[in-house]
């Protein structure tokens, strides 16, 4: 097994301010402080495995910069594939790893892998591309409201891409292609929607919930290689026109063999007296899990009956005639008791599972007036990773809790993107969000779409 080494900038130069007074005018002079460095103990080698893309690769921490007087400092962690940062693009999310006024920024394995691919690394043993290389990092410190930017020295970390099946057993893997646009991630404000491999080389599929806007398809979260559709005829054109989309959940198929794509409504959900009074409100939406090639949802059910249907309509629906866990098109209603469940649809084998278990949700003045209505349920798609989209929040505060109760709840003390049991409420502004809660690594993301 080959290993991928990763090199990071460890020395950070910042300003130290001193004051002198002349004729009642106060003048500050910037000087370098005695000590301001990363406090993380970095690994010599970082082995990157795509099956752990949502896991934490490293949590970058540093000492607080002190300038002799109180002042605000904003820190930005930046990355590049060239030591002189000549390929750094300030407007691209690939190279900007986060901003904070605190003292830490977490970086996922998936982000590291995207940077490794941008550097020309490859973990396919059938190619001649190397799987070992260097990625470069630096920290930008901006002092006060007026600027005063300064950069750390550039230093790298050796990285190695692990050669193994990243599919978790399904044979399906994340590709380098993604969905970007005002219809998905506000043109790269956060990671693009992922396309996954299929049984056909050069054909990829994505399951994404879009808002009204425009999209394109691009590789490695960067604009070097991107497709639009000039003429709106279903043909992929390099650098072509943006593709107009309406709000909804879609299956998008990208065929790079003949440069075509298709986009079709595709949303499996739970309907019934056990959930939404047979469609009085939207069905409980399933999310795709590529590691098992199944669809999953975390949901609160009440005593009654349910079925599974496609696109909130009855044209395609599944029940279970015989109550044996087998999906039958148009089959009998499925009897359920009240409780919290993790539900899995395996459409390849026409089976389903309905397992009682914990379901994380969003509660707060920013969503449901601290529990006046049910919490917004999140779905576990990978080990200890819960997702939800799209949730509409209002100005206020939120927390994450389990099963609409306070026994297990998480907030964010310090507003640094990390979760703490019983931590402080999380301030939110009104908008539509995609949510990722990573319990294993103690992080969360509120990715604002609109």
Q: For residue 194, is it within any domain?
A: yes
Q: Is 56 a residue whose pLDDT tops 90? A: no
For residue 172, the model assigns a pLDDT of 87
Q: Any idea what the CATH number is for the domain that residue 76 is in?
A: 2.60.40
Q: For residue 169, is it within any domain?
A: no
Q: Which residue has 């009642």 as its token pair?
A: 24
Count the domains in the chain: 4
302 and 367 belong to one structural domain: no
326 and 217 belong to one structural domain: no
pTM, two decimal places: 0.66
Q: Report the chain's mean pLDDT, rounded to a whole number.
A: 86
Q: Which of 127-131, 202-206, 410-414 has the lowest mean pLDDT?
A: 127-131
Q: Where is the domain boundary, 99, 126, 161?
A: 161
254 and 289 belong to one structural domain: no
293 and 242 belong to one structural domain: no
407 and 424 belong to one structural domain: yes
For residue 20, the model assigns a pLDDT of 42
Provide the pLDDT confidence category of residue 40 given band limits of 50, 70 and 90.
confident
Kindly report the backbone phi and psi dihedral angles of residue 50, in degrees, each rounded to the nearest multiple of 5, phi listed first.
-65, -25
188 and 273 belong to one structural domain: no
Q: Any idea what the CATH number is for the domain that residue 427 is in?
A: 2.60.40.3610
Q: Is 112 a residue whose pLDDT tops 90? A: no
Q: Please, are residues 391 and 435 in contact by the beta-carbon 8 Å criterion?
A: yes
Distance, in Å, from the CA atom of 190 to the CA atom of 354, rounded to the nearest integer, reads 33
Distance, in Å, from the CA atom of 445 to the CA atom of 391, rounded to the nearest integer, reads 13
Q: Please, are residues 406 and 343 in contact by the beta-carbon 8 Å criterion?
A: no
Q: For residue 140, is it within any domain?
A: yes
Instruction: Give the whole-number percent of the chain exceeding pLDDT 70.
Output: 85
CA 276 to chain CA centroid, Å, is 28
Q: For residue 166, is it within any domain?
A: no
For residue 328, the model assigns a pLDDT of 96
For residue 142, the model assigns a pLDDT of 80
Range of the domain at 420: 360-448
Distance, in Å, from the CA atom of 424 to the CA atom of 68, rounded to the nearest integer, reads 30
Q: Where is the domain boundary, 109, 135, 161?
A: 161
Distance, in Å, from the CA atom of 77 to the CA atom of 92, rounded to the nearest integer, reads 13
Distance, in Å, from the CA atom of 134 to the CA atom of 292, rounded to the nearest integer, reads 32
431-445 pLDDT, tens digit per residue, is 999 999 998 888 999
Q: Which of 7-11, 73-77, 80-84, 356-360 has the lowest mean pLDDT?
A: 7-11
For residue 127, the model assigns a pLDDT of 63
Greater model confidence, 31 or 436:
436
For residue 120, the model assigns a pLDDT of 85
62 and 205 belong to one structural domain: no
90 and 105 belong to one structural domain: yes
Greater model confidence, 128 or 263:
263
Q: Any idea what the CATH number is for the domain that residue 330 is in?
A: 2.60.40.3620
224 and 141 belong to one structural domain: no
Q: Please, are residues 400 and 318 in contact by the beta-carbon 8 Å criterion?
A: no
388-422 pLDDT, tens digit per residue, is 999 999 999 999 999 999 999 999 999 999 999 99
Mean pLDDT of 169-180: 86
Q: For residue 258, is it within any domain?
A: yes
Distance, in Å, from the CA atom of 384 to the CA atom of 365, rounded to the nearest integer, reads 26
DSSP assignment of 134-159, as one string? EEEEEEEEEETTTEEEEEPPPEEEEE
* 3-class secondary-structure state, position 320: coil
Residue 26: count other Cβ atoms within 10 Å of its Cβ: 8
Greater model confidence, 24 or 63:
63
Q: For residue 187, is it within any domain?
A: yes
Q: Please, are residues 74 and 142 in contact by the beta-carbon 8 Å criterion?
A: yes
Distance, in Å, from the CA atom of 412 to the CA atom of 326, rounded to the nearest integer, reads 42
Mean pLDDT of 303-331: 97
Q: For residue 238, is it within any domain?
A: yes
The DSSP bridge pattern shows strands 268-272 and 284-285 to be: antiparallel
146 and 11 belong to one structural domain: yes
Provide the pLDDT confidence category of residue 205 given band limits of 50, 70 and 90.
very high
Q: Where is the domain boundary, 327, 356, 385?
A: 356
205 and 83 belong to one structural domain: no
For residue 23, the model assigns a pLDDT of 43
Q: For residue 167, is it within any domain?
A: no
411 and 288 belong to one structural domain: no
251-278 pLDDT, tens digit per residue, is 999 999 999 999 999 999 999 999 999 9
CA 92 to chain CA centroid, Å, is 15
């Amino acid at each position: 097994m080959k290993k991928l080494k990763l090199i990071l900038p460890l020395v950070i130069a910042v300003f130290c301010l001193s004051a002198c007074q002349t004729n009642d005018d106060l003048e500050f002079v910037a000087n370098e402080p005695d000590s301001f460095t990363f406090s993380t103990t970095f690994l010599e080698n970082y082995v990157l495995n795509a099956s752990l893309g949502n896991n934490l690769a490293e949590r970058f921490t540093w000492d607080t910069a002190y300038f002799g007087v109180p002042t605000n400092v904003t820190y930005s962690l930046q990355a590049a594939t060239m030591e002189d940062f000549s390929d750094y693009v300030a407007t691209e999310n690939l190279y900007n790893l986060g901003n904070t006024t605190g003292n830490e920024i977490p970086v996922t394995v998936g982000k590291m892998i995207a940077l490794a691919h941008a550097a020309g690394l490859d973990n396919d043993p059938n190619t001649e591309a190397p799987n070992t290389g260097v990625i470069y990092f630096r920290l930008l410190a901006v002092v006060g409201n007026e600027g005063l930017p300064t950069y750390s020295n550039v230093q790298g970390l050796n990285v190695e891409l692990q050669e193994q099946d990243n599919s978790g057993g399904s044979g399906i893997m994340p590709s380098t292609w993604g969905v970007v646009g005002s219809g998905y991630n506000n043109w790269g404000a956060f990671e693009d929607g992922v396309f996954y491999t299929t049984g056909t080389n050069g054909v990829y599929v994505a399951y994404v919930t879009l808002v009204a806007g425009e999209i394109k398809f691009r590789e490695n979260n960067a604009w070097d290689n991107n497709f639009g559709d000039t003429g709106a005829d279903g043909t992929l054109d390099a650098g072509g026109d943006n593709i107009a989309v309406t709000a909804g959940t879609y299956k998008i198929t990208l065929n790079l063999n003949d440069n075509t794509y298709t986009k079709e409504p595709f949303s499996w959900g739970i309907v019934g007296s056990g959930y939404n009074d047979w469609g009085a409100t939207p069905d409980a939406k399933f999310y795709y899990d590529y590691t098992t090639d199944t669809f999953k949802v975390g949901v609160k059910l009440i005593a009654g009956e349910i079925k599974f249907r496609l696109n909130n309509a009855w044209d395609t629906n599944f029940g279970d005639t015989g109550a044996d866990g087998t999906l039958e098109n148009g089959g009998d209603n499925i009897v359920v008791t009240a409780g919290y469940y993790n539900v899995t649809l395996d459409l390849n084998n026409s089976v389903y599972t309905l397992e009682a278990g914990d379901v994380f949700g969003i509660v707060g003045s920013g969503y449901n007036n601290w529990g006046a209505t049910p919490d917004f349920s999140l779905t576990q798609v990978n080990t200890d990773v819960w997702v939800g989209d799209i949730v509409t929040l209002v100005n206020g505060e939120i927390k994450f809790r389990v099963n609409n109760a306070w026994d297990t709840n998480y907030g964010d003390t310090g507003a640094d993107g990390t979760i703490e049991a019983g931590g402080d409420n999380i301030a939110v502004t009104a908008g539509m969000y995609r949510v990722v809660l990573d319990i294993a690594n103690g992080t969360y993301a509120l990715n604002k779409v609109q």
